[in-house]
Chains A and B, each alone.
Chain A
Amino acid sequence: GNSVTQMEGPVTLSEEAFLTINCTYTATGYPSLFWYVQYPGEGLQLLLKATKADDKGSNKGFEATYRKETTSFHLEKGSVQVSDSAVYFCALSRNQGGKLIFGQGTELSVKP
Chain B
Amino acid sequence: DTGVSQNPRHKITKRGQNVTFRCDPISEHNRLYWYRQTLGQGPEFLTYFQNEAQLEKSRLLSDRFSAERPKGSFSTLEIQRTEQGDSAMYLCASSLEMDEQYFGPGTRLTVT
A interface, CB within 8 angstroms of B: 4, 36, 42-46, 49, 89, 91, 95, 97-105
Query: What number of residue pairs across chains A and B have CB atoms under 8 A from each other?
Result: 51
The answer on a CB contact under 8 Å between B101 and A100 is yes
What is the CA–CA distance of A80 and B44 in the complex, to the nearest angstrom? 29
The answer on a CB contact under 8 Å between B104 and A99 is no
What is the CA–CA distance of A95 and B98 in the complex, to the nearest angstrom? 8
- How close is A97's CB to chain B, nearest CB, in angstroms? 5
The answer on a CB contact under 8 Å between B105 and A42 is yes
With a CB–CB cut-off of 8 A, which chain B residues contact A91? 42
What is the CA–CA distance of A46 and B42 in the complex, to the nearest angstrom? 14
The answer on a CB contact under 8 Å between B106 and A89 is no
Contacts A43-B106, A98-B48, A98-B95; A103 near B101 (Cβ below 8 A): no
With a CB–CB cut-off of 8 A, which chain B residues contact A49? 100
Query: Which of A43, A46, A98 meets B104, CB within 8 Å?
Result: A43
Query: Which of B4, B45, B103 meets A99, CB within 8 Å?
Result: B45
- How close is B4's CB to chain A, nearest CB, in angstroms? 7
Which residue, of B4, B43, B56, has the highest number of chain A Cβ atoms within 10 A?
Answer: B43
**A93 nearest CB neighbor, chain B only:** B98
Please name the 4 residue pairs, one residue from A and one from B, whose CB atoms are nearest each other, closest first.
A102-B42, A44-B103, A43-B103, A99-B45
What is the CA–CA distance of A100 and B102 in the complex, to the nearest angstrom? 12
**A44 nearest CB neighbor, chain B only:** B103
With a CB–CB cut-off of 8 A, which chain B residues contact A46? 100-101
